[in-house]
Structure 1
Amino acid sequence: MSHRILLLGAPGAGKGTQSKKLAEEYDLEHVTTGDALRANKDMETEYGTPRSFMEAGELVPDPVVNEIVEAALAEADGFVLDGYPRNLDQAEYLSEITDLDAVIYLDVDEDVLVDRLTGRRVCDECGANYHVDFQPPEEPGVCDECGGDLIQREDDQEDTARERLEVYRENTEPVIEHFRDEGVLVEVDGEGTPNEVFDEITDVVES
């Protein structure tokens, strides 16, 4: 049977990694808001196309995002949804358009999230990603792929990381409460290794 799974978690919680693994394991569409918007840039909604907002550097408004996500889910036989809903209005909309089989929240302590976010290094030549603790390059500061310099992006500096988590909390706490109130939220400890966390997630999906 195909599954309809929503994965929630803060930046650095590992949603992207786990979503990809789930999509492969169960042969599901991995639906992210960003991919859905890019794939449907020119979809006409009564508010305009996503492209018109993206090119102006503006946030795509909720009603447009909702329509795009709805279209992406309608085309999928089963899916892992990652990065949506970002606020309570989107969560309520999602509950109206689909029945989710599992809503999984990756619970990770803020200090661990900050370590994960601030430890990321990116090659300024080829864009390869590393992490000082979890995925270090063979030679510190040097990309294994192309020998380029590894840099810490501004997004990944501690002040910015804590700010991102604060914004996430303000917007997404109500989303977590919404699914908790519906009785469908399952919390998974997101602090183990990627494989340990994945095992816990598959237990939830298969129960």
Structure 2
Amino acid sequence: MSKHILLLGPPGAGKGTQSKRLAEEFGVEHVTTGDALRANKGMDISDMDTEYDTPGEYMDAGALVPDTVVNAIVKEALTTAGGYVLDGYPRNLDQAEFLSEITDLDAVVYLAVDDDELITRLTGRRVCEACGENFHVEFEPPEEPGVCDECGGELVQREDDTEETARERLSVYEENTAPVIEHYREAGVLTDVNGEASPDAVFDAIVDAVES
């Protein structure tokens, strides 16, 4: 039977990396809000009484896509998926309540990582200006500092990877998504996993949680 897995955790906790591995392990789809929005940019939402008629118009304007629109897109993505690892949703309690109305979850896993460790992870990323390859000064450094292994291009720190931006992202997460964690914890369905362990150890712990 296909698994329905929800992976929660702050920015930098490793949700993306672990979700991809889980999707392969269980033969299910990796569903992220960002991917779902991009895949449905042209979806007609004119009946929702929203400011714009498609999700793409919100994205092009740099505006926050309303919950009602995000909910509809996630519902579509989950309905068409046999099984899934959901990553990046729900971001608030209203979305969590909507999720409980449209699907049943087999496992809710929270990747717990200390703030200082998150800052190190978020600010250490370096991106090649030429080919877009990603590196990390501590966890995945290039062979030669500042130089891309793939094409020899210059590695730069993106604006959204600075410490100031990273702390702002964590602050927004804490305000909006921390109540979601408590919601699942109080419901007795949340499994905490130490996100500071090695990637393989984290993966094994998640698999154990899903299979139990």
Specify the TM-score bucket, using the shorter chain as the normaliser.
over 0.9
Alignment correspondent of 2:22: 22
Alignment correspondent of 1:7: 7
* Separation (CA, whole Å) in 2 of partners of 1:82 and 1:100: 13
SS of the residue aligned with 2:145? coil
Shift of 1:41: 1.3
Alignment correspondent of 2:205: 200
User: What does 1:35-184 align with in structure 2 at a 5 Å threshold?
Assistant: 35-45=35-45, 46=48, 47=50, 48-184=53-189
Shift of 1:158: 1.2
Structure 2 unaligned runs (5+)? none
Count of matched residue positions in the alignment of Structure 1 and Structure 2: 207
- Per-residue CA distance 1:37-63 (angstroms, 9 max, x = gap): 111112222233211211222111100
Moved more, 188-197 or 45-54: 45-54
Dislocated runs of 4+, deviation >3 Å: none
User: What does 1:179-190 align with in structure 2 at a 5 Å threshold?
Assistant: 179-190=184-195
SS of the residue aligned with 2:196? coil
Cα RMSD after superposing both structures: 0.9
Using the size of structure 2 for normalisation, the TM-score is 0.95
Shift of 1:154: 1.5
Moved more, 139-148 or 38-47: 38-47
Aligned amino acid, residue 155 of structure 1: D
- Per-residue CA distance 1:153-201 (angstroms, 9 max, x = gap): 1211112111111111101011111111221111100001111100110
* Separation (CA, whole Å) in 2 of partners of 1:119 and 1:54: 27
Aligned amino acid, residue 21 of structure 1: R
SS of the residue aligned with 1:106? strand
- Per-residue CA distance 1:75-125 (angstroms, 9 max, x = gap): 011000000111111111111111100000000000000011111111111
* Separation (CA, whole Å) in 2 of partners of 1:183 and 1:161: 31
